[in-house]
Amino acid sequence: MVVEVKEPLLAALTSLSSHSSRILASWRVLLKHYKICGKYAALLSGLHVAPQLRDLIFANPQAYREKSERQGQDLARRGVPPECVAVAVALYVESCLPYLLSGDSGKVEWTRAFARWASIYQFFLLTGYAQHGAAERQALEERISQAERRAQDFSVQLGEAYEKERRRLAQDLHDEIGHDLIVLKLYTEVIALDLKKGDISQLRRKLKESVTLIQHALKSVRHLTFDLGPAIWNEQGFVPAVRLYVRQFAKRTGIKVRLDAARMRAQLPARCETALYKVLQGALSNVVAHADAQNVKVTLASGQDSVTMKIEDDGRGFNVGRKLGVPRQSYGLRAMRERVELLGGAIHFTSSPARLRAECRGTTIEAHLPLQDSEIT
């Protein structure tokens, strides 16, 4: 340790202190011209070299060690390679040697003590690097653990959502289509019975009512399949399906919707199409339920590496942070975020609540999904 060579080191530091300005100037020139250190010269020149901390080295060695380790951590955070730190300390020693070796031969002990300090100082700095690396690994492991927990939570939520959707679909099939088919069956049986008896007086009316029931059942089927994903999606592609969806949405709600898909490629990976379609459904559902908006703009754009969908409305807006902070009030928003992040993407919610009844701030939902060239045809 440094205390083992206290006397010669103290003598060396005392001798060097009178030359400190020239030593530092020479050292900084070496740092700038040394290839491996030149890029980081400004940061490396701030190292706590020995003469600057002479009193601390001997008065409180532990504090000196901790200070040096913290400096190593700081340099690691700033991206300075550890080899640059080792070289910088060696260059500082090189800058001090002319002043240590001049004069009588007794100064050899000073030089040895000073070299001992340099080695220990390098060790402290590199220990700081190791501590920073350990902290980074721990933080990364924590982020991975959080991501795994979020993925597990999302899987549970997704399963619950699928089950809820399955039950809703079953209920709708039973209440609407099932009821129509039962009544239609009865009408058909009555018509068949009347025909058998030769009574055709009510035939026209019953046939007309049967056609009405069939039309209602077909309309119900179209609504149910449209919510799941229109058939045009498979036949003509994703963009026509979105165009049909926003057109039908505008017709049902009276809200004007404009679609801009001029920068959209013809085809995306199926998982991306499904995620974007579900985000669009969720966003437009929120517009109807909460926004009190008059206009919505949907923008689709894809590039070489990503696809973006932006939904903008001119509604009343809301406090995003407060809404996301209450899980039971933000299930739809969180479902959008989880669906997008599960594919490695990102989604941003931007909104401001209106302060006055007549004031409209609007809300923007922007989703980005990564793409790979091999997945696009």
With bands split at pLDDT 50, 70 and 90, how would you rate the model's confidence at 60? confident
Greatest mean pLDDT among 7-11, 355-359, 361-365: 361-365
- Whole-number pLDDT of residue 345: 92
Query: DSSP assignment, residue 70?
Result: H
pLDDT score of 129: 93
Work out the angle at residue 115's Cα, subtended by the Cα atoms of residues 109 and 117, and round it to the nearest 5 degrees. 105
| Closest C-alpha to 91, from 25, 166, 189, 6 | 25
For residue 377, the model assigns a pLDDT of 40
Q: For the whole model, what pTM was predicted?
A: 0.48
| pLDDT above 50 (res 137) | yes
Q: Confidence class of residue 375 from pLDDT cuts 50, 70 and 90? A: very low
Angstrom distance (rounded) from CA 118 to CA 210: 97
Q: Is the pLDDT of residue 175 over 80?
A: no
Amino acid at 93: V
2-142, which class in CATH? mainly alpha
In this prediction, residue 37 carries a pLDDT of 81
State the pLDDT confidence band at 158, using cuts at 50, 70 and 90: low
Distance CA 315, CA 291 (A): 5
Q: Place 374 in a pLDDT band, splitting at 50, 70 and 90.
A: very low
Question: Which of 19-28, 66-75, 147-156 is predicted least confidently?
Answer: 147-156
Residue range 286-295, pLDDT digits in tens: 898 888 899 9
Which range among 18-22, 110-114, 231-235, 318-322 shows the weakest confidence by mean pLDDT? 231-235
* Helix H or strand E segment including 297: strand 295-302
Least confident of 94-103, 194-203, 354-363: 354-363
Give me the chain's average pLDDT, please. Answer: 82
* Buried b or exposed e, range 261-277, using 16+ CB within 10 angstroms: beebbeebbeebbbbbb
Question: Domain 237-375 falls in which CATH fold?
Answer: Heat Shock Protein 90 (3.30.565)
Q: Higher confidence at residue 196 or residue 96?
A: 96
pLDDT of 336 strictly over 50: yes
pLDDT digits (tens, 9 = 90+) for 71-80: 899 999 999 9
The residues spanned by each domain of the chain are: 2-142, 237-375
Domains 2-142 and 237-375 share a fold: no
Residue percentage of the chain with pLDDT more than 70: 85
Q: How far apart are CA 193 and CA 206, in angstroms?
A: 12
SS3 label, residue 134:
helix
Give the separation between CA 230 and CA 222, rounded to whole angstroms: 8
What is the per-residue pLDDT for 300?
95
